[in-house]
Chains A and B, each alone.
Chain A
Amino acid sequence: SQQGEEDPQALSIQEGENATMNCSYKTSINNLQWYRQNSGRGLVHLILIRSNEREKHSGRLRVTLDTSKKSSSLLITASRAADTASYFCATEAWGNEKLTFGTGTRLTIIP
């Protein structure tokens, strides 16, 4: 079963613009992670935010976490064509050693 849902399901923007994706989840978590997947390939870890953190940055990525609303957002600034991919949030619940993935956002960057 999917723990989270990403919104929007698909997003197309012009190169250079910022892209924002949202993730909602259902249960209390230890951490939330974002992964990227190019078509037909495996997933690549982007960033992890712990339940006691509210915001985290990594390069052009900014992640926020609101545990009271059980939601997270991923912002990609100054998008590039190479950012075209599907993006998934994944949650690790307390005392549970596996990641549960959301349904994903398909991001298309138009050159």
Chain B
Amino acid sequence: DTGVSQDPRHKITKRGQNVTFRCDPISEHNRLYWYRQTLGQGPEFLTYFQNEAQLEKSRLLSDRFSAERPKGSFSTLEIQRTEQGDSAMYLCASSRTSGRNGELFFGEGSRLTVL
């Protein structure tokens, strides 16, 4: 069990640029979640996948945000035309569905700073 892996851990970009984050879940987990966390706040749900299907998207996820999970393995979260308000920690988590008790396993996060 190698845990949930996120890349990059830190990203500094200029406003207007596009950024992409990658998440590799625990291999036998078929649920994958993206959360966003700003300083001093709890994680806010963005979207989640079961296998390759994106099952729910938050209203927080504007049309500048897109997430994919091709082949139900790793996932990417892309932010186009970044704004300073996008600066946050982007957290990925995975879980099982069968026999699950609802526990999420989180990665270390990708911290985005938009200048």
Q: Interface of A with B (CB < 8 Å)?
A: 1-2, 30-31, 33, 35, 40-45, 48, 88, 90, 92, 97-104
Question: Is the C-beta of B8 less than 8 angstroms from some C-beta in chain A?
Answer: no
How far does the alpha carbon of A97 sit from the alpha carbon of B75 in the complex, in Å? 18
11 CB < 8 A contacts A-B: A2-B42, A42-B4, A42-B106, A42-B109, A43-B93, A43-B104, A92-B102, A97-B31, A99-B102, A100-B45, A104-B41
Count of inter-chain pairs, beta carbons less than 8 A: 60
Q: How far is the CB of A93 from chain B (nearest CB, A)?
A: 11
Known A41-B108, A42-B91, A42-B109; contact A101-B102, beta-carbon cutoff 8 A: no
How far does the alpha carbon of A19 sit from the alpha carbon of B42 in the complex, in Å? 20
Q: How far is the CB of A21 from chain B (nearest CB, A)?
A: 13
Q: Interface of B with A (CB < 8 Å)?
A: 4, 31, 33, 35, 40-45, 48, 50, 55-56, 91, 93, 101-109, 111
Question: Which listed residue (A30, A35, A40, A98) contacts B56, Cβ 8 A?
Answer: A98
A99's closest neighbor in chain B, by CB? B104
B residues within 8 A CB of A35?
Answer: 106
Q: How far is the CB of A58 from chain B (nearest CB, A)?
A: 12
